[in-house]
């Protein structure tokens, strides 16, 4: 049977730099291999703000942002077998088709199936399911969770245990999973020393996961002194505020000094290219590995002396923590239910849907780790 369009509320961003506006939108029924989801909760991530601000070179407007959602399957299109009506689901901005060159390589979680249309703000058939005031509205990251109903590709959604609260496991849609994967997919963290630059949700998740897998020393780095207690609560053994170092002392030189030659592993969770450089240069000669997680603004480039690499440091990065969402998210939900994966701790702010712009402001305040919006 062919479904009907649904009229509901969505937060539309009409142009770069504009606040979101709650509008009535029409959400078309799911087409072949698509799933329509009633979104119940969504987190707000810096990437939503990055695209809203106009800094994202892939940004398109008007758009419905949001990529950290939790909801219930309302209807499915033809050919959908992986989820059913009523399933509790998390949309995935990194799809997993299990058929493309990337998925079959066994080397990456990046899936090629829908990425190009996703980047154009469209469904795989190159059209949008959202209409507002008679005008098509772009999708975002294949998820658009800032809408009470959204449509996603069936390769871009995973069903999870219904006993898990969606207001918490929605955060597995981005932040928590990204941080978890960046650590567990990296061999050798156990018994090693680690430095984490930036103590937002991602940095704290890296600290927490490093602690769980048994890193021997975890140095948290942040310019905000109030992040020290957060970092220690998540398992950091040391906290360094680079702004309090003696004048002219670079953070990388300081870290190399206090670690007898540098870190085994460092992580950038800031998106600042100067911090990325410091994170690489804080690595131990011969074997240190630095992972870039943060998203840098358009036009930004990283640099260092090639000698840093010649002398055995490795610069790498991962997206969505290298996690294959459909295969791995159900297990992360079980870990959460069993108490071995922290999620509740990250939720510092709650907002009603009507207050979503305030949620964006919350994010800029130093006391916010994650704000969850009740749709
Ligand atoms: N569109 C941006 C890049 C944005 C980006 O790097 N996105 C991250 C996820 S951010 C989650 O909060 C990512 O995983 N990208 C992989 C992908 O396939 O997009 C730009 O600068 O063009
Ligand atoms: Zn995100």
Task: Report DSSP letters for 275-300, one per residue.
Answer: HHHHHHHTBPTTT-EEEE-SPPPTT-
Residue 1 confidence (pLDDT) above 70: no
> Tell me, what's the pLDDT at 64?
98
DSSP letter assigned to residue 263: B
Active site residue 68: yes
Nearest-atom number in ligand 1 for the CA of 297 is: 21
> Residue 181 pLDDT > 60, yes or no?
yes
Closest residue to atom 6 of ligand 1, CA basis: 295
Q: Are residues 204 and 125 in the same domain?
A: no
Res 364: pLDDT = 86
Q: How far apart are CA 131 and CA 149, in angstroms?
A: 12
Q: Are residues 270 and 212 in the same domain?
A: yes
Q: Does residue 369 form part of some domain?
A: yes
Confidence band for 183, pLDDT divided at 50, 70 and 90: very high
Q: Which atom of ligand 1 is nearest to the CA of 298?
A: 21
Looking at residue 104, the DSSP 8-state letter turns out to be H
What are 117's two structure tokens?
């249309």
Examine the domain organization and report whether 159 and 16 are in the same domain: yes
Average pLDDT over residues 221-225: 97
pLDDT at 199: 97
The verdict on whether 103 is a catalytic residue reads yes
Q: Give every CB contact of residue 346 below 8 A, 6+ residues apart in sequence.
A: 171, 175, 176, 201, 204, 205, 369, 370
DSSP letters for 189-244: -TT-EEEEE--SHHHHHHHHHHHHHT-SEEEEE-S-TTHHHHHHHTT-SEEE-GGG
The single residue of 13, 170, 174, 371 carrying the catalytic annotation is: 174
CA distance linking residue 267 with residue 195, whole number of Å: 6
Determine the pLDDT at residue 221: 98
Could you give phi then psi for residue 349, rounded to 5 degrees?
A: -135, 145
Report which ligand 1 atom has the smallest distance to the Cα of 115: 18
- pLDDT category of residue 213 using cuts at 50, 70 and 90: very high
Residue 226 belongs to some domain of the structure: yes
Please confirm, yes or no, whether 371 is among the known catalytic residues.
no
Report whether pLDDT(223) > 90.
yes
Q: What is the pLDDT of residue 330?
A: 98
Q: 8, 49, 98, 100: which is the annotated catalytic residue?
A: 100
Count the domains in the chain: 2
Q: Does one domain contain both 90 and 42? A: yes
**What one-character DSSP code corresponds to residue 339?**
T
User: Across residues 202-209, what is the average pLDDT?
Assistant: 98
Q: How far is the CA of 47 from the centre of ligand 1 (A)?
A: 8
**Cα 6 to ligand 2 centroid, rounded to whole Å:** 27
For the stretch 160-166, contacts whose Cβ atoms lie closer than 8 Å and that sit 24 or more positions apart, written own/partner, are: 160/88, 160/89, 160/90, 160/329, 160/330, 160/333, 161/88, 161/330, 161/333, 161/334, 161/337, 162/87, 162/88, 163/337, 164/88, 164/333, 164/336, 164/337, 166/40, 166/41, 166/70, 166/71, 166/72, 166/88
Q: Using a 6 Å cutoff on CB, does residue 176 contact ligand 1? A: no
Query: What pLDDT score does 156 carry?
Result: 98
Residue 45 CB less than 6 A away from ligand 1: yes
Is 235 within 8 Å of 221 (Cβ atoms)? no
* 181 lies in some domain: no
Same domain for 121 and 268, yes or no, is no
**Domain check: are 249 and 190 in the same one?**
yes
Q: What pLDDT digit, counting tens, does each position of 334-357 carry?
A: 999 999 999 999 999 999 999 999
Mean of per-residue pLDDT scores for the chain: 97
When pLDDT is averaged across residues 205-232 and rounded to a whole number, the result is 98
What DSSP line would sit under 27-95, residue for residue? Answer: EPPP-TTEEEEEEEEEE--HHHHHHHHT--TT--SSB-----EEEEEEEE-TT--S--TT-EEEE-SS-
pLDDT band with cut points at 50, 70 and 90 for residue 366: confident
The CATH number of residue 195's host domain is 3.40.50.720
Task: Answer whether 197's CB lies under 8 Å from 266's CB.
Answer: yes
Residue 1 lies in a domain: no
Same domain, 347 and 242: no
Rounded to 5 degrees, φ, ψ at 112 are -95, -5
Q: Tell me, yes or no, if 364 is annotated catalytic.
A: no
Ligand nearest to the Cα of 175, by number: 2
For residue 170, pLDDT beyond 90: yes
Q: Mind listing the pLDDT tens digit for each residue in 237-296?
A: 999 999 999 999 999 999 999 999 999 999 999 999 999 999 999 999 999 999 999 999
- What is the mean predicted confidence (pLDDT) over 160-182? 98
Domain extent at residue 215: 186-317
45 catalytically annotated: yes
* Ligand 1 and 57: CB distance under 6 A: yes
Q: Are residues 162 and 194 in the same domain?
A: no
Tell which of 270, 294, 317 closes a domain. 317
316: tokens are 């790498």
pLDDT of residue 154: 98
Q: What residues does the ion ligand 2 have nearby, CB within 5 Å?
A: 45, 47, 174
pLDDT in tens, 49-96: 999 999 999 999 999 999 999 999 999 999 999 999 999 999 999 999
The percent of residues above 70 in pLDDT, for the chain, comes to 99
Q: What kind and span of H or E run contains 253?
A: helix 251-258
Which of 298, 317, 336 delimits the end of a domain? 317
**What residues does 24 pair with on adjacent strands?**
9
Is 281 close to ligand 1, i.e. is its CB under 6 Å away? no
Q: Is the CB of 174 under 6 A from ligand 1?
A: yes
């Amino acid at each position: 049977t062919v479904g009907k369009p649904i009229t509901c509320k969505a937060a539309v961003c009409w142009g770069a730099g504009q606040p979101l506006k709650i509008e009535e939108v029409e959400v078309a029924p799911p087409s072949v291999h698509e799933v329509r989801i009633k979104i119940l909760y969504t987190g707000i991530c810096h990437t939503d703000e990055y695209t809203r601000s106009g800094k994202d070179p892939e940004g398109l407007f008007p758009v419905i942002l949001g990529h950290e959602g939790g909801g219930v399957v309302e209807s499915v299109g033809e050919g959908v077998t992986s989820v059913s009506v009523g399933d509790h689901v998390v949309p995935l901005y990194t799809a997993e088709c299990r058929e493309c060159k990337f998925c079959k390589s066994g080397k990456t979680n990046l899936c090629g199936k829908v990425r190009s249309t996703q980047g154009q703000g469209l469904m795989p058939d190159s059209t949008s399911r959202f209409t507002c005031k008679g005008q098509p509205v772009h999708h975002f990251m294949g998820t658009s969770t800032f809408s009470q109903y959204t449509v996603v590709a069936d390769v871009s959604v995973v069903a999870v245990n219904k006993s898990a609260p969606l207001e918490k496991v929605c955060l597995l849609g981005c932040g928590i999973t990204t941080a978890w994967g960046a650590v567990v997919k990296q061999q050798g963290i156990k018994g090693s020393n680690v430095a984490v630059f930036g103590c937002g949700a991602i940095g704290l998740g890296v600290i927490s996961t490093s602690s769980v897998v048994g890193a021997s020393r975890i140095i948290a780095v942040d310019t905000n002194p109030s992040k020290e207690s957060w970092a220690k609560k998540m398992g950091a053994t040391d906290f360094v505020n680079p702004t309090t170092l003696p004048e002219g002392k670079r953070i990388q030189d300081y870290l190399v000094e206090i670690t007898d030659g540098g870190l085994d592993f460092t992580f950038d969770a800031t998106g600042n290219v100067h911090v990325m450089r410091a994170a690489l240069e804080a690595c131990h000669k011969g074997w240190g590995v630095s992972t870039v997680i943060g998203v840098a603004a358009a036009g930004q480039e990283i640099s260092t002396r090639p000698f840093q690499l010649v002398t055995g440091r490795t610069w790498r990065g991962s997206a969505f923590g290298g996690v294959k969402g459909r295969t791995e998210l159900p297990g992360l939900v079980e870990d959460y239910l069993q108490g071995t994966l922290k999620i509740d701790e990250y939720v510092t702010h709650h907002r009603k849907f009507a207050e979503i712009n305030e949620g964006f402001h919350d994010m800029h305040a130093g006391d916010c780790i994650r704000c969850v919006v009740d749709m």
